Amino acid sequence: EVHLVESGGGSVQPGGSLRLSCVASEFPFSHYWMHWVRQTPGKGLVWVSRISGDGSTTNYADSVKGRFTISRDNAKNTLYLQMNSLRAEDTAVYYCTRDCSGPSCWGLIDYWGQGTLVAVSS
């Protein structure tokens, strides 16, 4: 079964940085687009970013564009989210998710990791 394990969350002051990681297993990682989605009690689920299987294409939500960078290392089956200039409103549980990526299901988020909590506060 698809396995996604996030790490790297924690507490950070406004303006600080964090890098989230997500180790994937039980599927051919390089063949799949991947997304980050975050969840807060107030705003619910919010899509953050996505990256193509080879890493050449990335997209971002307007709220994080210019501050967050999504990347991947296919040799390590690992997805990353570098978060800079963090703000209080970035406080959330961040989920690593897989895109189905097939010809009949491209764009569909089918599996989620367990999430990692990022808390931005002074």
Partner 1 sequence: DIVMTQTPLSLSVTPGQPASISCKSSQNLLYSDGKTNLCWYLQKPGQSPQLLIYEVSNRFSGVPDRFSGGVSGTDFTLKISRVEAEDAGLYYCMQNIQLPYTFGQGTKVEIK
Interface contacts to partner 1, rule CB under 8 A? 35, 37, 44-47, 50, 59, 61-62, 95, 105, 107-115
For the chain, how many helices (H) and strands (E)?
0, 11
Bridging pattern class, strands 78-83 and 68-73: antiparallel
Compare residues 109 and 119 and give the one whose CB is closer to partner 1.
Answer: 109
Compare residues 80 and 94 and give the one whose CB is closer to partner 1.
Answer: 94
Compare residues 46 and 119 and give the one whose CB is closer to partner 1.
Answer: 46
Separation CA 53–CA 91 (nearest Å): 27
Kindly state the smallest distance separating residue 22's Cβ from partner 1, in Å: 12
Q: Report the DSSP beta bridge partners of residue 112.
A: 97
Separation CA 82–CA 70 (nearest Å): 6
Compare residues 42 and 75 and give the one whose CB is closer to partner 1.
Answer: 42
Q: Is 51 helix (H, G, I), strand (E, B) or coil?
A: strand
Kindly state the smallest distance separating residue 84's Cβ from partner 1, in Å: 20
Kindly state the smallest distance separating residue 109's Cβ from partner 1, in Å: 7
